[in-house]
Amino acid sequence: MSTIKAEGFKGSETLAALAAVFDSYSDEEKKAQIKKTNGIFEIRLKNANGEEGIWTIDLKTTGSVYKGESKSKPNVTILMSDETFQQLATGKLDGQKAFMTGKLKTKGNMMFATKLDGVLKSAKAKAKL
Amino acid sequence: MSLQGLVSGAECAVPFNPLSQVLKHTDGDRSIQQDRIAGPSGSRLQHLPSTTAAPGSERDLALARQFFDNNGQASSSTPNFAIPRHIAPPDMSRFMNAPGASSELMAAWAESQHKQQLHMPGPTLQVPQSSGSAWAGEFGSGMQVVAPGPSVQQSMAQQPNFYQSSYMGSRMYGGIPMNMFSTPMNMTTTAVDKGKGKSREIDFEAAFAEVTQSLGPSEAEMARIVELDDTADLQEAMSGVSLESIVDSQPPVGADFKTVWDQLQNSDMPPPVEDVAKWEAEFNQLMNSQRSSDLDFDYGAMMQGAWESGLGNWGEPALESGTKFNEEGLPVLGEYEFDAGNQHLDPSTSTQSPLEDAKRLLEQNGSLTEAALLLEAAIQRNDLGKGGYEAWILLGEVRSMDEREEQGMRALTEGVRRAEEAGAAGEGMLSLAISFTNESYERASHTMLLRWLKARFPDHPIPAEAWESLTQSSWHSHDRVTEIFINLAREQHSKGVLDPEVQVGLGVLFYTNNEYDRAKDCFEAALSVRPADFMLWNRLGSSLSNGNHPEAALGVYREALNLRPTYTRAIYNVGVACLNIGAHKEAAEHFLTALAMQDSSAGPKSEQLWFTLRRAFQAMDRQDLADKATANTDLDVFRGEGFDY
């Protein structure tokens, strides 16, 4: 997990937490998650100092989070500021609004990016209706 | 193209037509800029801002048409210079306060403003006109969308906003030229927008000036201007039109122009060219500094990219190995899997009607797992209850309550299908929509809710557009479906009716979009009608819990558990709330309670529960316990670790 965190990126902690969640999935649960999402997100964050960090959420083959560019072609690359990513992860901003206001940019399959909300939510235990 | 129609049509109507003339100006305006970029020419006005104007669109033209048509009808020849609406004081003051605006700039601004006051009516001067107030009125009414500082140029600056909403809103971008998306649309700060509008006014002046300079109608020059236009299709339309219209109408109008220009030149306040130049240089600087701090945002390119790669093939079937969805977003789940070792299947041990037994058990707050097994047996023994769907829907609801969502969804899908066949469409749909919501199948949830509404309220109008939206992104369908539900709720409200089910539907819609506060209001409204519905209490609690009020949620869950102590899902939710508050040990205990409750049968426990339990242990820094928390572990192990459940 220490490999995921990066100095100066608040979002890296969220991603590390997400990685921990993925680690704690049983094989069966992991399979279910992969089945539900079935794709690779490459996330490029820009922090306040203008540095860029790249992470990949692979929910297609391995069900893992790692730092660096995607090893195989990502379904979507999502570009945003570190700040925006934090707001997305905490639910203060939803992906739609972020996209519409230009805080979030995508490369690749934009419709697939809509699934990121759900993936980030799974980092936090959520009550059910 | 409408552009051509506009120009040539108007030409037919009036012998010498101001509209074509002014269109030429806007056209010239843009090309001058491009010319500047390509290489400055000494004979032109200096220091034009190097912004790229958005290509004229149908909307601009419509506004222009409205504006000029009205002008063309006026008949008196009194020129009117006082057009107060043109200068919008709030706009100006905002600009003055913009960072980096120096006193010099302000002085220059004041000067240029003066000048504008004189120049801008230029085009209208050619037109015989009766009253300035009529002009201003017509102009204002044509520009309703654009609030401050009405001018055709400014409406261009507003353009990005307009397209942004319509683009995602209703997929009506078919008629919009694609190059709209490839132009830089810089719209993050209003200050920038306004600034651009102003800069275009200056451009307009420049265009005006240029026309006077090239009064001898030199065809070559005009042709060059057109050539420099960057939009291919516009260019095609314009090159033919503007050339012929220029040739046709140039001499008389040119003469007119000349007199006006001379008047202006000889007027009391000659335009201080140097000041304008300085002003524009500073203005450019200001604009550029704002732009670079803008996280290199390029909305147009982004939209283009999205169109080319994503939107264009949204209908493409989902990737091979993932969950399959039908075109309305409903997941294809497969058959319900019955429990193999179900003791209630044995005819010798069970009563005549397992369905009745299950209902009785539920009334007596019996074990949910037990009730589910009875219902399974009922279905397998073809004791299906009302319409052949009752047992299925009840089974699905019981499975969901027992925190076994996957099985619940399958049973409910089957039940809903059977209910529709039996002519009782709508039964079970709300429960299924809620299950879909819990599993993050938002689009499926929207589809189910809309179908439910149609079944329950066949008279309530549902636009075809809403059904269409279900085949698209969940963002889109959410807006459409919510709109319909809100309309229905309003209609009922005006009749003094409060339908708890409509409120639940609306609450679920808000919940799927993370609007937990509004979801909470809906569930509260439903509870005011059905205070004994423990599922509603649980839903209210979940809205609070996910809306960052886990403490308040605990009290609400308690209500639900008072009404039904064996409500596994509520217990799970209590655990989640504890986890989010930070009470990890209590959370683990609640999850263990829920697991123990599922233990009363041979069926597998909920993987979701085990997983969340592992997270609670991890949060407690007890990795050893987390490792033990797997489906095959005896729960008593944890009792030995000091967990009381």
Q: What is the pLDDT of residue B125?
A: 40
Which structure tokens are listed for B91?
Answer: 């706009």
pLDDT at B346 over 90: no
Q: What is the pLDDT of residue B58?
A: 64
Complex ipTM more than 0.95, yes or no: no
A90: distance to nearest CA of chain B, Å? 10
pLDDT at B557 over 90: yes
> Taking a C-beta distance cutoff of 8 angstroms, is the pair B389, B314 a contact?
no
Q: Mean pLDDT for chain A?
A: 84
Mean pLDDT of A15-41: 82
Residues of chain A contacting B306 with CB distance shorter than 8 Å: 106, 110
B587-592 contact pairs (CB < 8 A, 24+): B587/B616, B587/B619, B588/B613, B588/B616, B588/B617, B588/B620, B588/B638, B588/B643, B589/B643, B589/B644, B589/B645, B590/B645, B591/B616, B592/B635, B592/B638, B592/B643, B592/B645
Mean pLDDT of B381-397: 88
Give B504-540 pLDDT, tens digit per residue: 999 999 998 888 899 999 999 999 999 999 999 999 9
Closest chain A residue to the Cα of B431, Cα to Cα: A129
Percent of chain A's residues with pLDDT above 70: 97
Which structure tokens are listed for B259?
Answer: 């007199």
pLDDT at B220 over 70: no
* B172 interfaces chain A, CB cutoff of 8 Å: no
pLDDT band (50, 70, 90) for residue B98: very low
Higher pLDDT pick, B268 / B121: B268
pLDDT at B552 over 50: yes
Higher pLDDT pick, B417 / B32: B417
Mean pLDDT of B319-337: 70
* B448 interfaces chain A, CB cutoff of 8 Å: no
> Taking a C-beta distance cutoff of 8 angstroms, is the pair B559, B567 a contact?
no
Q: What is the pLDDT of residue B610?
A: 85
Q: What is the pLDDT of residue B18?
A: 53
* B51 interfaces chain A, CB cutoff of 8 Å: no
pLDDT band (50, 70, 90) for residue A118: confident
Residue B134 CB burial class (10 angstroms; 0-12, 13-18, ≥19): middle
Helix axes A10-24, B607-619, angle to 10 degrees: 130
Highest-pLDDT range among B190-194, B295-299, B590-594: B590-594
Kindly give the pairing relationship between strand A39-46 and strand A76-81. parallel
* A97 interfaces chain B, CB cutoff of 8 Å: no
pLDDT band (50, 70, 90) for residue B485: very high
Of A20, A38, A113, the CB nearest to B319: A38
Give B247-288 pLDDT, tens digit per residue: 454 455 556 777 777 776 666 655 566 677 777 777 777 766
Distance in angstroms between the alpha carbons of the first and the last residue of chain A: 32
Q: Do B168 and A114 touch (CB under 8 A)?
A: no
Alpha-carbon distance of B215 to B348, in angstroms, equals 107
Which structure tokens are listed for B250?
Answer: 């140039």
Residue of A85, A92, A120, A128 for testing the chain B interface, max B β-carbons within 10 Å? A128
β-bridge partners, A53: A45
Ramachandran class of B76: left when φ > 0, alpha when ψ lies in -120 to 50, beta otherwise: beta
Highest-pLDDT range among B97-101, B149-153, B579-583: B579-583
Percent of chain B's residues with pLDDT above 70: 52
Higher pLDDT pick, B212 / A110: A110
* A61 interfaces chain B, CB cutoff of 8 Å: no
Greatest alpha-carbon pair distance for chain A in Å reads: 41
pLDDT at B147 over 80: no
Residues of chain A contacting B430 with CB distance shorter than 8 Å: none
Q: What is the pLDDT of residue B233?
A: 59
Q: What is the pLDDT of residue B482?
A: 92
Highest-pLDDT range among B13-17, B241-245, B363-367, B595-599: B363-367
Q: What is the pLDDT of residue B495?
A: 92
Give B421-445 pLDDT, tens digit per residue: 888 878 889 999 999 998 888 888 9
Percent of chain B's residues with pLDDT above 90: 18
Q: What is the pLDDT of residue B1?
A: 45
What domains can be seen in chain A, in order of their start residue?
10-126 (3.30.1050.10)
Residue of A59, A106, A116, A129 for testing the chain B interface, max B β-carbons within 10 Å? A129
Q: Mean pLDDT for chain B?
A: 69
pLDDT at A34 over 80: yes
3-state secondary structure of B216: coil
Q: What is the pLDDT of residue B279?
A: 77
Of A26, A81, A110, the CB nearest to B311: A110
Give the least confident one: B59-63, B312-316, B534-538: B312-316
Alpha-carbon distance of B550 to B546, in angstroms, equals 7
pLDDT at B596 over 50: yes
Q: What is the pLDDT of residue B135?
A: 54
β-bridge partners, A40: A58
pLDDT at B60 over 80: no
Highest-pLDDT range among A123-127, B120-124, B217-221, B357-361: B357-361
pLDDT band (50, 70, 90) for residue A36: confident
Q: What is the pLDDT of residue B396?
A: 92
Q: What is the pLDDT of residue B291?
A: 53
Strand order from edge to edge, sheet including A39-46:
A64-67, A52-59, A39-46, A76-81, A104-108
Give DSSP secondary structure letters for B86-141: GS-HHHHHHHHHSTT--HHHHHHHHHHHHHHHHHTTHHHHHS-BS-HHHHHHHHHH
Give the least confident one: A73-87, B21-35, B465-479, B599-613: B21-35
Give A54-98 pLDDT, tens digit per residue: 999 998 888 888 998 888 888 999 999 999 998 888 777 878 888
Q: What is the pLDDT of residue B439?
A: 84
Q: What is the pLDDT of residue B299?
A: 60
Higher pLDDT pick, B479 / B234: B479
3-state secondary structure of B366: coil
pLDDT band (50, 70, 90) for residue B404: confident
* A2 interfaces chain B, CB cutoff of 8 Å: no
Q: What is the pLDDT of residue A45?
A: 92
Higher pLDDT pick, A58 / B222: A58
Of B295, B439, B573, the CB nearest to A81: B295
pLDDT at A43 over 50: yes
Q: Do A127 and B297 touch (CB under 8 A)?
A: no
B324: distance to nearest CA of chain A, Å? 9
